[in-house]
Homo-oligomer: A and B are copies of this chain.
Amino acid sequence: MDEGRRPDDEKGEAEETAELLREYERQIMALPVQEHVERMLTTLSGLALQRLGIGEKEPAACSPQEARLAIDAFRALTEVLAQDEPERGGVYRATLAQMQLAFVSVAGGRAAGKGGAGATPETNGEDDGEAGKNGEGL
């Protein structure tokens, strides 16, 4: 601890920050569960687009296999939300359809460019190796 920087002040600030974070967590957990699920959908759609390399400056994150998982999770949560709210479900299904199209466009194009549309996963690169095998999951 650097005595010259008034450790008591620093400790006070750290405790204040910790308390703020705890309060933040309490507030987050107090949100309706539906809102949590909707935030998860937002996160999953962002991840799916990122892993498809859409709008990314660093295409290193590109992974059709992970994009597929994000899209599958998005679809699963959409179905759960749609049980209670059919109208909201329609909105999420539209987003889901867009992501599925993007997946086919990106992952299908990558597979075709590397090893042909009918190539087995083993003949493809690491990034899109699972795209063909799991395409039917979408």
Interface residues of A (CB under 8 A from B): 29-30, 32-34, 36-37, 40, 43-44, 46-47, 50-51, 61, 66-67, 69-70, 72-73, 76-77, 79-80, 83-84, 137
Residues of B contacting A43 with CB < 8 Å?
A: 36, 40
Are the C-beta atoms of B69 and A30 separated by less than 8 Å? no
A52 to chain B, nearest CB (A): 11
Are the C-beta atoms of A84 and B69 separated by less than 8 Å? yes
Residues of B contacting A83 with CB < 8 Å?
A: 72, 137
In the assembled complex, the Cα of A15 lies from the Cα of B25 at a distance in Å of 23
Are the C-beta atoms of A36 and B47 separated by less than 8 Å? yes
In the assembled complex, the Cα of A44 lies from the Cα of B38 at a distance in Å of 12
In the assembled complex, the Cα of A76 lies from the Cα of B68 at a distance in Å of 15
Residues of B contacting A36 with CB < 8 Å?
A: 43-44, 47, 70
